[in-house]
Amino acid sequence: MKVLLINGSPRRQGNTHVALQEVAAQLAKNGIESEEVWLGVKPVRNCIACNRCKEKMDNRCVFDDDLCNAVSAKMHAADALIVGSPVYYGQPNGGVLSLVQRMLYSAGALFQNKPAAAVAVCRRGGATAAFQTLSIAFQMMNMPVVTSQYWNIVYGREAGEARLDLEGMQTMRTLADNMAFLLKKLHAGGQPEYPEREPWQPMHFIR
């Protein structure tokens, strides 16, 4: 079993990385593999609602000039997802938001039913809002949201300071333990049997 970790910070070795590595180390203790993917510093396109991905139905965004499709493809082999982001103005990094939105829309079939969690890292405030923003998307994809002993928040400003947040690091380890527990339960009999979904019945407020 494998968990894909997305580091949504432009600082590769910053506090978001520290938080995700604490998760990765604890997952390893539980016998769960993980892979961290760094968002990087290059632009990430936002979704323009062209719906070309729905026409092709190939789990790919029509725009292939950033890391979106490459990260989506990794979900073929991943059983769960954790997205970490620094907090900017009480919100997740815009790049990671664009990435998540395009991945889930263009390659939703690769994410459906797989457990997920968000991690927010901040200097002082806005973490709960950023954490909630990232978590909402998972609920729309039938992705079981994995909990911890507290909201998945870690504090730190300068690179490495997150390690000084003892409760935050413990929260990351508890998240990893809970993720490992759920994955093992889901895969106890081999391939998980997910609920049969009713056909979607979309409605609009304006007809």
**What are 13-49's pLDDT values in tens digits?**
999 999 999 999 999 999 999 999 999 999 999 999 9
Per-residue pLDDT for 193 more than 90? no
The answer, as to whether pTM is greater than 0.75, is: yes
Q: Report if residue 206 sits inside a domain.
A: no
Spell out the residues 6+ positions from residue 24 whose beta carbon is closer than 8 angstroms to its own.
Answer: 3, 5, 34, 36, 176
Report the alpha-carbon distance of residue 190 to residue 184 in Å, rounded: 10
Instruction: Identify the burial level of 78 via C-beta atoms within 10 angstroms of its C-beta, where 0-12 means exposed, 13-18 middle and 19 or more buried.
Output: buried
Total tally of structural domains belonging to the chain = 1
Q: Report if residue 38 sits inside a domain.
A: yes
Which of helix, strand or coil describes residue 67?
coil
End-to-end Cα distance, the chain: 45
**What are 96-141's pLDDT values in tens digits?**
999 999 999 999 999 999 999 999 999 999 999 999 999 999 999 9
Determine contact, residues 154/165, Cβ cutoff 8 Å: yes
Per-residue pLDDT for 207 more than 80? no
Q: Which CATH number do you get for residue 86? A: 3.40.50.360
The pLDDT value recorded for residue 154 is: 98
Q: Report if residue 201 sits inside a domain.
A: no
Residues in the chain: 207
User: Residue 66's domain spans which residues?
Assistant: 2-186
Q: Report if residue 199 sits inside a domain.
A: no
The pLDDT value recorded for residue 183 is: 97
Question: What would the two tokens of residue 2 be?
Answer: 């494998």
The pLDDT value recorded for residue 1 is: 95
Q: Report if residue 205 sits inside a domain.
A: no
The pLDDT value recorded for residue 72 is: 98
Place of tokens 């070795």: 13
